[in-house]
Structure 1
Amino acid sequence: MLTGKQKRFLRSKAHNLAPIFQVGKGGVNDPMIKQIGEALEVRELVKISILQNCEDDKREVAEALAKGTKAELVQLIGLMVVLYKPSKNNKRIELPRASRA
């Protein structure tokens, strides 16, 4: 589970990313989840756009993508979804430490 500070850090990293996947009329499917999972292993942070013709609710799409890829939902803003999953072999992003109270 990501802290608020970590989510803010990841949102700032994702700001300049271009979306590499699009969810369209077909909605979320297994091949798409597999491809996004592979991209997360390489990049750790991905941005996905939900097209206007997608018939599913954007929140349901974002949750289905996060659950299917076992990733953290960093942000859902407009029709953009940002997912984060730490890579097993290709660690690139160092998250800020959670502060102790």
Structure 2
Amino acid sequence: MSLSTAEKKRLRQIGHHLNPVVLLGGNGLTEAVIAEIDARLEDHELIKVRVGGEDRAARLAAIEEIANATKSEVAQIIGKLALLYRAARKPDPKLSNLLRVTS
């Protein structure tokens, strides 16, 4: 499920005003963090995740691992923030960041 350039642009526009819903801190990437990201993706479809740490390569590896573990697509990475997208099985119009914007 690869996103086209136009789809990424649309997701970046929607995600611009979002705040991070998951912060990856000192304990690193744990099963609990992945479960939380997975749950937030199911609720909101488009989320921002803040990945801490000063090592850029480690941050990028963590973001890639999150995307693989949650079966999501990375729409954008800016510094320590990653914008992740995964279509919900049953989108909730009250929670979905995509449906709230388009309605």
**Structure 1 residue 51 displacement after superposition:** 2.1
The equivalences for 1:1-101 within 5 A come to 1-52=2-53, 57-90=58-91, 92=96, 93=98
Counting matched residue pairs gives 94
| Structure 2 stretches lacking a partner, 5+ long | none
Instruction: Give me the whole-angstrom Cα distance separating, in 2, the residues matched to 1:88 and 1:41.
Output: 7
Moved beyond 4 Å, runs of 4+:
53-56
Q: 1:51-71 CA distances to partner (integer Å, 9 max, x unpaired)?
A: 246797111011011011110
**Structure 1 residue 8 displacement after superposition:** 0.6
CA contact (8 A) 1:23 1:54 kept: no
Instruction: Give me the whole-angstrom Cα distance separating, in 2, the residues matched to 1:19 and 1:56.
Output: 20
TM-score (norm 1): 0.84
| Partner in structure 2 of residue 97 of structure 1 | none
TM-score (norm 2): 0.82
CA RMSD of aligned residues (A): 1.9
| Structure 1 stretches lacking a partner, 5+ long | 95-101
Q: Name the structure where helix makes up a greater proportion of residues.
A: 2
